[in-house]
Structure 1
């Protein structure tokens, strides 16, 4: 009789532990999922920032070469952004025609990208965020 009670007590204790584990999972799983998706979105934001900076740099580097046209700078920036599947970007050159640059003049390229259009999970974490970078170089 004592062994029968002991077995019943052990089963009840095991069932209680399973119930506690399920309750803990129900509480922790949404938090862990949120942290996972927020981390992925943050990494995507950092990657997007790096791509925008690199594109602006490459555009400015090409733009300071003597005799280069604005369309060449625009097409280089467009190619880099399209290769990385970045959407709805805006590229601004200052001055708008780099062929007019004199040696020592500043030339800048600004690239702006809305994060909402380039988010992996629908922009839950960074609403209304635009990633922008400007690179300024002197003409050669």
Structure 2
């Protein structure tokens, strides 16, 4: 390889490498975002089922959602159950479970994503 061709290869690498790296990390972060959203939906679903069951309470539902999200590797999840469910909650009462997390706290490149928040909501009727 002569000297002229080696310079062209270096220039091509300098142009293409940043684009390939951005494409690679973008694909990784998009996949991670999809996984985080799915994990939040799963945590809200599990918490809603626990809260709506006979004898279910808000505190048990919140700990179930946090346990599911921890098992799935999702960090900093906030869980809200509305209305507050006790053992005396009337049958037929709609219960809404909302799970929220920041994508930056669940990402390798969180510093470049910014303040993106994902929320999953699940509504179920108390048994």
Cα distance, 1:122 vs structure 2: 2.6
Of the three residues 3, 6, 10, the one matched with 1:18 is: 6
Tell which structure's C-alpha radius of gyration is larger.
1
> When the two structures are superposed, what TM-score results if normalisation uses the length of structure 2?
0.91
Q: Figure out how many residues of one structure are paired with residues of the other and give that number.
A: 127
Alignment RMSD (CA, Å): 1.5
Quick one: which of 117, 122, 126 aligns to 1:135? 122
Deviations 1:89-131 (A, max 9, x none): 110001112434322221110000011111112341x311111
Unaligned runs of 5+ in 1: 1-10
Q: Distance in 1 between matches of 2:28 and 2:86?
A: 38
Runs of 5+ consecutive residues of structure 2 not aligned to the other structure: none
Which segments of structure 1 move beyond 6 Å, counting only runs of 4 or more?
Answer: none
Q: Note the 1:48-59 alignment, pairs <5 A.
A: 48-59=36-47
TM-score normalised to structure 1 length: 0.83
Distance of 2:88 and 2:4 partners within structure 1: 79
